[in-house]
Amino acid sequence: MNVSEMLLPEFDEETRKTRAYLERLPEDKSDYKPHEKSMPLGRLAAHIAQLPELAALVAELPSLDFATSGMKPLVMESRQQLLAEFDRTAQRARKAVSAVQDKDWQHLWKLSFSGKTITEEPRYQVYRKMFLNHLVHHRAQLGVYFRLNGIPVPATYGPSADDKMGF
């Protein structure tokens, strides 16, 4: 089994779990922030919906400078719009990850902004940190937003207080 084949089951599981959160997005609370320093719920959800695009770019490109990439932050218009974007980017990312050869997972991959290095590590590490761990982190934040607003939190790595998974 090659590296991509080992990564894809986890990719599938995490994107499935993340989609379950996006399916519960309240459209009437996009401006909600639990703290003044927090991202508004709509911006957080849009960021989550767009994150698989970064996985695709890590897999497809030798490096990325956000300032010259042409990427623009997604703006939440509706739950359906975010779900469609998430599905589109996740499908693209899955295809891109599956095409990476083992030797290419080891190549140094640089992420920067206006020439300033954010990280430069093997592609595998950038994928794990900047996409997968980043996705899980923000999904957990969204779970807190849900809890504070009385929105049932989906089961993630086992039952939640709201989703008992048959228990």
The domain of 72 spans 3-148
Answer whether residue 79 is part of any domain.
yes
122-147 per-position pLDDT tens digit: 999 999 999 999 999 999 999 999 99
Q: What is the pLDDT of residues 7-54, one digit of tens each?
A: 999 999 999 999 999 999 999 999 999 999 999 999 999 999 999 999
The confidence score (pLDDT) of residue 167 equals 74
Is residue 112 over pLDDT 90? yes
Whether 155 maps to a domain, the answer reads no
Q: Is the pLDDT of residue 165 over 80?
A: no
- For residue 29, what pLDDT is reported? 97
What is the domain count for the chain? 1
Q: Is the pLDDT of residue 157 over 80?
A: yes
CATH number (domain holding residue 140):
1.20.120.450
Quick check: helix, strand or coil at residue 136? Answer: helix
Share of the chain above pLDDT 70, in %: 99
Q: CB–CB of 98/4 below 8 Å?
A: yes
Q: Does the predicted model carry a pTM greater than 0.75?
A: yes
Instruction: Please check whether residue 142 is in contact with residue 161, taking contact to mean a CB–CB distance below 8 angstroms.
Output: no
Mean pLDDT of 76-105: 98
Can you give the pLDDT at residue 126? 97
157 lies in some domain: no
Give the C-alpha separation, 99 to 2, whole Å.
11
**Confidence (pLDDT) at 164:** 84
In-domain check, residue 28: yes
pLDDT, position 110: 97
User: DSSP letters of 3-40?
Assistant: HHHHHHHHHHHHHHHHHHHHHT--GGGTT--SSTTSPP
Mean pLDDT value across the chain? 96
DSSP secondary structure string for all residues of 79-134 = HHHHHHHHHHHHHHHHHHHHH--HHHHTSEEEEEETTEEEEEEEHHHHIIIIIIIH
Specify the pLDDT at position 101: 97
59, part of any domain: yes
